[in-house]
Copies of this chain bind each other. A is one copy, B any other.
Amino acid sequence: MPQVSAGAKNRGRPSKTASASKTSNKTPKKGTVIKLKLKKTITEVKKVLKIDNPSSYYYFFSPGKADGNAQMPDELGGKGANLAEMALAKIAVPPGFTIATSACKLYYENDLVLPIEIDALLEKYVSMIEKETKKKFGDSTNPLLLSVRSGAKFSMPGMMDTILNLGMNDETLEGIAGKSGNMRFALDNYRRFIQMFGDVVLGIERDAFEAVIQKKKVERRVKHDSSLQVSDLGDIIKRYKQIVKRKTGEPFPEDPWQQLRLARDAVFRSWNNPRAISYRRLNNIPPLPGTAINIQAMVFGNMGKKSCTGVGFTRNPSTGEKEFFGEFLVNAQGEDIVAGIRTPEDIKNLKKVMPAVYKQLSTIANSLEKHYRDMQDFEFTVENEKLYMLQTRSGKRTTQAAIKIAVDMVKEKLISKEDALMRIKPMDLDQLLHPTIDPNAKYEVITTGLAASPGAVSGKVYFTSEDITALGAKVKGILVREETNPDDIEGMHSAVGILTSRGGMTSHAAVVARGMGKCCVCGAEAVRVNAAKKRFQVGKLTIREGEIITLNGSTGEVITGEVATVEPELSAEYTEFMSWADEVRTLKVRTNADTPADAVKALKFGAEGIGLCRTEHMFFAEARIPIVQQMIVAETAEERQEALDKLLPMQKKDFKAIFSAMNGLPVTIRTLDPPLHEFLPKKETIELKLEELDKKSDHYEEDFEDLTRLVRRIDELTELNPMLGHRGCRLGIVFPEITEMQVRAILEAACELTKDRKKIFPEIMVPLVGHVNEFKHQKEIIDRIAIEVIAKYKVRNLEYLVGTMIEIPRAALTADEIATEAQFFSFGTNDLTQMAMGFSRDDAGKFLQFYLENGILETDPFVSIDEAGVGQLIKMGFEKGRATNPELKIGICGEHGGDPSSIEFCHKIGLDYVSCSPYRIPIARLSAAQATLKFNGSGGKKKAVKKAVKKTKKEK
């Protein structure tokens, strides 16, 4: 292959191929670019960018010395920065160097070619490794092999590519075999290298190689790879090379330098592979320059019985317990653990196998945790009883573990309370709040796997990522796989739970599921998955696609059918942790709740009141809907009043129950909001009924008339843009009797409870106000009815507030006028976002996804407040409102009230409270605390702490 091997000599010569690549897609898909990859060697590097200081892109490290350190993850990536830090701490890391993230950026800017000045230093840095290891890259007697690993600033487990054993070829094979005295070992490395290189660099499906090895095992009637003979491995390598030749049209590249450059570029390219992009989007990772690459001397965990490889945590990442936790595999390379192909052993067993190594490892791990002041996740390899640390980083953990670790570390005086509060991502609290299996439920456990990610969930089983993604949000699906890999990321996101039959607690499925807060059971080996036939078997039992199972991610149980679940018991550490958040935060947290059940749940989660009680949900109850419809089809105010009179006692009962549940906390009740047609049946349904009626010989003429009238009313009420139509206070203005009934129900309920010596704080909220006159109109009604009801009940000490939603842009713009009349504002950010941005939430799907994927919008404005636009209106509404009414209470309700970044915004502006759904309350409490710590600095903290002290004193 002269074309390829000539590469090194012809550096910098521009070629047609490189030039043609200018218009090529910058996010190449696997498979489609095989040829391009083979052709694009250093021979084709274009000199487009002028690089001034090329050595600034390389960072060397070796125990005792390093160019970088832990403070440089932007440039070195997380892995590179920590390798440098460990080297500086004289911990045994295999010597190597990091190519900086900025080089990755240049690689993309330069049309998928690393600028020549940077590329040129590769030999120099490899030679530095050669010096440290006293081996030589590509040498036939004492060859240096390299590992090439990606490593971005933020950990993206399994998302990008790694190549081990690089430098293997027919010549170095002999060197490795000779030097190790172990031909089997040498061949195993060679075999692994071709397979990995073929997969990662050449885009050949893993299965093609896997089939060869499977076939050989069948031939030899052996179960494990390790039982294959030297000659078998030789055969396998030969076949692997044939596969490469067949798939790519070129022989396998034997030149180690070509291997290295191809591998390096493949890692750069993996930064923008679809699953990595998807991962960054799903995890809200901000834009980064790219990934760094760590090129290190290989150390071998597969050199025999005195070698092993493993991963570990300084504390239990699932429970947070302070115990040495992890897994290892004897005579294996790192990929074997992560891929979950062989089920590894508990790290505690290493004590028996290699006690000295175990002691050394636990000492290092402990010091790493102290050094980083956080629980560490580390990788190590033992080569002939010599321990090497391959990586350390802050370990991923379940939220339960994270809280326990944070609280424990405060007690161990390792970190401060504030540090602890800042360490938990508020959204992660969601994991704690999912239901667990009802202890009284009876169910049949069909098998047990590893309890990889806690929670309990029932769902229908599906066997491919595509199938489960296609279901959409409506169906709860459980993804069942032998093992998951990064291609399954979308499917895992869509699933409510994940079950695998292979792999351990640190397998891909386990790590990703914990990150997502999804229930996951791993390595349930009794489960035999047949994805092609869309079914799995446990013993004689067969479960097919669409059948329901239940997973208990906290015990590893797999259960047939659906099982009742209960709300989680929250740990003592959780309670303590949240009390710290409450001490710090200044923003109050209320809940959106329409039922007493919601109210009770929210109180348990720490709600300080109801910020939004939607009265319309009370209208939808089955027994009420006919009365509501009667109200709507009424043609006179009298007819309407008749229906309203029937609704009054029902609403009153609801309000009494909610007030009672909230037990003295403020309750904001919104008057009727949705357009009336939402309460009517579909026109088609009635027309069908009419047809049926027509067929009957004995129908009543009255029924006919009623239905006809209903159809007419539906026609009258139908709107082209209901979002901007006759709804909100516009209803209460045109039909004041509706507002009158609702206010009467609220205040009669409040009066009756007040008479029972309960303390009630009703806040009546008028929706969709755009003009102060609208509010005045409704306030006049509310006050009139209130005076009347309070007089009737002769209640003295009942106070109520009248306020409004600020959800129309005009309301925010004229908040100064509205605030002269209103006692409180609640920003309805859902509607405000719809109108300020002109996005109908129901319809935006057609373009919003496109906008997010193509960077036109950075975040979904329905998830996080669009600060630049909608945020201005909120700020304006707040400032104008307070300007004319300094006493004005101001909060927000709507989805954003439970979104951390939106809560931070609300804190910054100075709102009094946020209101969110019950499950979001802990998230909001922590977000509010973090916002206080972030923006009020130590001053704010002090104030907050003072407040907390005062509170504590008071309680005493």
- Seen from chain A, the residues whose Cβ lies within 8 Å of a Cβ on chain B are 719-726, 728, 730, 733-734, 768, 770-771, 773-774, 777, 807-810, 813-814, 817, 831, 834-840, 842-844, 846-847, 850-851, 854-857, 866, 868-870, 872-873
Contacts and interface: CB of A to CB of B under 8 A. Distances in A.
Contacts of A730: 846-847
A838 B834 CA distance: 10
A835 B856 contact: no
A817 B868 CA distance: 10
A766 B724 CA distance: 24
22 contacts: A719-B840, A719-B842, A721-B721, A721-B724, A724-B724, A724-B835, A724-B843, A725-B840, A725-B844, A726-B843, A726-B846, A733-B847, A734-B846, A734-B847, A768-B838, A770-B869, A773-B857, A808-B837, A810-B836, A813-B836, A814-B869, A814-B872
B813 A872 contact: yes
Given A723-B721, A810-B866, A869-B814, A838 B831 contact: yes
Contacts of A869: 770-771, 809-810, 813-814
A856 B771 contact: yes
A728 B851 CA distance: 14
Nearest 3 Cβ contacts at the A-B interface = A724-B840, A721-B840, A810-B869
Contacts of A817: 868
B720 A723 contact: yes
Contact of A722 (B725, B843, B847): B843
A724 B814 CA distance: 23
Contacts of A872: 813-814
Contacts of A856: 733, 771, 773-774, 777
A726 B869 CA distance: 20
Given A734-B847, A814-B869, A847-B730, A720 B842 contact: yes
Contacts of A837: 770-771, 808-810
Nearest to A776: B856
Given A733-B850, A773-B855, A810-B837, 14 more contacts: A720-B723, A721-B840, A724-B843, A724-B844, A726-B843, A728-B838, A733-B847, A733-B854, A771-B837, A771-B856, A771-B869, A810-B866, A814-B868, A817-B868
Contacts of A723: 720-721, 723-724, 838, 840
B810 A870 contact: yes
A903 B839 CA distance: 29
Nearest to A847: B730
Contact of A771 (B807, B835, B843, B857): B857
A184 to B, nearest CB: 54
A850 B722 CA distance: 18
Contacts of A725: 840, 843-844, 846
Pick the most buried of A843, A855, A870, A872: most chain B CB atoms within 10 A of its CB.
A843
Contacts of A870: 810
Nearest to A731: B847
B813 A873 contact: yes
Contacts of A726: 843, 846-847
Contacts of A807: 838
Contacts of A850: 733-734
A104 B720 CA distance: 45
A719 B840 CA distance: 9
A866 B814 CA distance: 11
A535 to B, nearest CB: 33
Contacts of A839: 724, 770
A873 B870 CA distance: 13
Contacts of A844: 724-725
A866 B723 CA distance: 20
A680 to B, nearest CB: 15
Contacts of A854: 733, 777
Contacts of A857: 771, 773
A835 B809 contact: yes
A869 B726 CA distance: 20
A730 B810 CA distance: 24
Given A724-B721, A771-B857, A808 B838 contact: yes
A453 B807 CA distance: 48
Contacts of A813: 836, 868-869, 872-873
A69 B762 CA distance: 58
A836 to B, nearest CB: 5
A773 B725 CA distance: 30
A60 B851 CA distance: 75
A719 B843 contact: yes
A843 B728 CA distance: 14
Contacts of A728: 838
Contacts of A733: 847, 850-851, 854, 856
Contacts of A734: 846-847, 850
Contact of A721 (B722, B770, B777, B808): B722
A50 to B, nearest CB: 27
Contacts of A843: 719-722, 724-726
